[in-house]
Amino acid sequence: MAFPKDFVWGAAAASYQIEGAFDADGKGASVWDMFVRKQGTVFRGHTGDVACEHYHRYPEDVALMKQLGLKGYRLSVSWPRVLPGGIGPANDKGLAYYDRLVDTLLAADIAPWVTLFHWDFPLELYRRGGWLNRDSADWFADYTALLAERLSDRVVNWMTFNEPQCFVLLGQATALQAPGDKLRDDELVLAQHNVLLAHGKAVQALRAHSKQPGNIGYAPVGIVSIPATEDPKDLAAAERRMSSVSASHWDNVSWFDPVFLGKYPEDAAFISKLPRGYEEDLTIIHQPIDFCGTNIYFGTSVREGRDGEPEQVQEPAGFPSTALNWPVTPSALFHGPRYFHARYGKPIVITENGLSCRDWVALDGAVHDPTRIDFMTRYLRELHRAIQAGVPVSGYFHWSVMDNFEWSEGYKERFGLIYVDYQTQKRTLKDSAHWYAKLIASNGQVAL
Ligand code: IFM
């Protein structure tokens, strides 16, 4: 079960979920700082104000990452930490923090994989219309240029957006996440288009301002359909489902096609709602990028229905599921990468995959999480099968390196390889972390 040489064994986290220090050293507010203060938005009123105190404890955390033998660590930059107002004067103390983090990672032989945006949008810019304002694409490009100027002497790997489907749709259609709006469909289409334009302009900014050639990608949710049987009809149905446009915008193609193919899906009903001149924007959105990142946690089983259309197959009663009730479907890491590579022709990076478990510190002082080890074994075997089938997968980032603030679920959900005691900030490597360390050291041979 060897993985390709130079395979990037990684783990991920995101600024708001771990940094804390929400108002330290001149940081500006983000929409999450506002959202968590609204009653009823987050489990028991939890906030990211303190989180894992990673802003102060990063040396200890990077030392633990080194103990795991991580080859890559996927972090995100908090936009309002480095640009308190989103635009305008930069906050040197915020930039200096990312300098130190990057330097500490490099000294530990861990490659930083930097996501430009993982949901903590500057509050000031939200007040100016946020993603509904066409200027948002330029705001984002300017922020990106600032980071490229500052970090690209040491950072090579970049991702523009994490899960745009979530921050646009959960944040602005269902109001389950920040900023907590319920926009009209035409507004959502505009926000989506501006986000895609911001992606394109950010890639241009990275290329123009980087001090060395970058490895640039994008990290949307991969919405995977798993063929219910081996029957080629079900296989085709699953692929058609992955390529179909959803009226709710919760799909792959509305978010991937413009970036990788330079067009919106032809059958998308929302095309009539796109801003005038969108065709020209597509040339900006469609910048050449180096890899297709995607976050895959599970897939849904699909077969060809009686009418010839793809049909979802309900999981049987008692189907395995995680603490968040997400189904455990390892072959999502086979069918997903295969589909995205076939459609977009880029190397695939699994930018997130993982599960939340009800972990606690046992009487022996350890954190026993056999289900995480079993989950990872099953999913990584499937990822390996995809590689064997010819899909160029260059990395896997486990979500998450440590327990953290799980958005509207607060600290209730534990996704980490490292356990965090939020009262004392004590870290404990879970059994899965020890297991992952062995797996990494053997490039996937041990344990799979
Ligand atoms: O915690 C989140 C992360 O921020 C984005 N992807 C899914 C994870 C688990 O829900």
3-state SS track over the chain: CCCCCCCEEEEECCHHHHCCCCCHHHCCCEHHHHHCCCCCCCHHHCCCCCCCCHHHHHHHHHHHHHHHCCCEEEEECCHHHHCCCCCCCCCHHHHHHHHHHHHHHHHCCCEEEEEEECCCCEHHHHCCCHHHCCCHHHHHHHHHHHHHHHHCCCCCEEEEEECHHHHHHHHHCCCCCCCCCCCCHHHHHHHHHHHHHHHHHHHHHHHHHCCCCCEEEEECECCEEEECCCCHHHHHHHHHHHCCCCCCCCCCHHHHHHHHHCCCCCCCHHHHHCCCCHHHHHHHHCCCCCCEEEECCCEEEEEECCCCCEEECCCCCCCCECCCCCECCCCHHHHHHHHHHHHHCCCEEEEEECCCECCCCCCCCCECCHHHHHHHHHHHHHHHHHHHCCCCEEEEEEECCECCCCHHHHHHCECCCEEEECCCCEEEEEHHHHHHHHHHHCCCCCCC
Q: Check whether 115 has a pLDDT greater than 80.
A: yes
Q: Check whether 358 has a pLDDT greater than 80.
A: yes
Whether the CB of 163 sits within 6 Å of ligand 1: yes
Q: What is d(CA 321, CA 357) in angstroms, rounded to the nearest whole number?
A: 10
Q: What is d(CA 269, CA 260) in angstroms, rounded to the nearest whole number?
A: 20
Confidence of residue 447 (pLDDT cuts 50, 70, 90): low
The pLDDT of 185-191, averaged and rounded, is: 98
pLDDT at 192: 98
206 close to 213: Cβ distance less than 8 angstroms: no
Residue nearest to atom 9 of ligand 1 (CA): 406
The pLDDT of 394-413, averaged and rounded, is: 98
Distance 396 CA to ligand 1 centre (A): 15
Whether the CB of 401 sits within 6 Å of ligand 1: no
The pLDDT of 140-163, averaged and rounded, is: 99
Which residue in this structure is represented by tokens 């103390």?
93
Confidence of residue 13 (pLDDT cuts 50, 70, 90): very high
Q: What is d(CA 254, CA 267) in angstroms, rounded to the nearest whole number?
A: 10
Give the number of the atom of ligand 1 that is nearest the alpha carbon of residue 404: 1
Residue nearest to atom 5 of ligand 1 (CA): 163
Distance 394 CA to ligand 1 centre (A): 21
Give the number of the atom of ligand 1 that is nearest the alpha carbon of residue 409: 10
Residue nearest to atom 2 of ligand 1 (CA): 406
pLDDT at 448: 64
Catalytic residue among 239, 304, 352, 413: 352
The pLDDT of 19-48, averaged and rounded, is: 98
Q: Check whether 364 has a pLDDT greater than 80.
A: yes
Tens digits of per-residue pLDDT, 312-346?
Answer: 999 999 999 999 999 999 999 999 999 999 999 99
pLDDT at 113: 99
pLDDT at 236: 98
Q: Check whether 166 has a pLDDT greater than 80.
A: yes
The pLDDT of 355-370, averaged and rounded, is: 98
Give the number of the atom of ligand 1 that is nearest the alpha carbon of residue 295: 6
382 carries an active-site annotation: no
**pLDDT above 90 coverage of the chain, percent:** 99
Q: What is the mean pLDDT of the chain?
A: 98
Confidence of residue 2 (pLDDT cuts 50, 70, 90): confident
Distance 400 CA to ligand 1 centre (A): 8
Whether the CB of 281 sits within 6 Å of ligand 1: no
Confidence of residue 436 (pLDDT cuts 50, 70, 90): very high
Residue nearest to atom 10 of ligand 1 (CA): 406
Tens digits of per-residue pLDDT, 15-31?
Answer: 999 999 999 999 999 99
Whether the CB of 19 sits within 6 Å of ligand 1: no
Whether the CB of 79 sits within 6 Å of ligand 1: no
Cis amide bond preceding 400, omega within 30: yes
Distance 406 CA to ligand 1 centre (A): 7
The pLDDT of 139-166, averaged and rounded, is: 99
Distance 36 CA to ligand 1 centre (A): 16
Amino acid, single-letter form, for residue 192:
Q
Q: Check whether 446 has a pLDDT greater than 80.
A: no
Give the number of the atom of ligand 1 that is nearest the alpha carbon of residue 407: 1
pLDDT at 363: 98
Catalytic residue among 19, 163, 406, 413: 163
Q: Check whether 177 has a pLDDT greater than 80.
A: yes
Give the number of the atom of ligand 1 that is nearest the alpha carbon of residue 221: 6
Distance 275 CA to ligand 1 centre (A): 30
In a mutational test of the pocket of ligand 1, which residue from 17, 75, 415 has the highest number of ligand atoms less than 8 Å from its CB? Answer: 415
Count CA atoms closer than 13 A to 286's CA, side-chain side. 14
Residue nearest to atom 1 of ligand 1 (CA): 406
In a mutational test of the pocket of ligand 1, which residue from 74, 163, 357, 398 has the highest number of ligand atoms less than 8 Å from its CB? Answer: 163
* Distances, alpha carbon 139 to alpha carbons 4, 50, 129, 243, 325, in Å: 39, 28, 12, 31, 37
Distance 159 CA to ligand 1 centre (A): 15
Q: Check whether 168 has a pLDDT greater than 90.
A: yes
pLDDT at 248: 97
Tens digits of per-residue pLDDT, 223-266?
Answer: 999 999 999 999 999 999 999 999 999 999 999 999 999 999 99
Give the number of the atom of ligand 1 that is nearest the alpha carbon of residue 14: 4
Distance 357 CA to ligand 1 centre (A): 14
In a mutational test of the pocket of ligand 1, which residue from 322, 356, 406 has the highest number of ligand atoms less than 8 Å from its CB? Answer: 406
- Burial string for 49-86 (b: 16+ CB within 10 Å, else e) reads eebbbbbebbeebbebbbebbbbbbbbbbbbbbbbbbb
Q: What is d(CA 87, CA 129) in angstroms, rounded to the nearest whole number?
A: 14
Whether the CB of 403 sits within 6 Å of ligand 1: no
* pTM, rounded to two decimals: 0.98
19 carries an active-site annotation: no
Whether the CB of 173 sits within 6 Å of ligand 1: no
The pLDDT of 127-150, averaged and rounded, is: 99
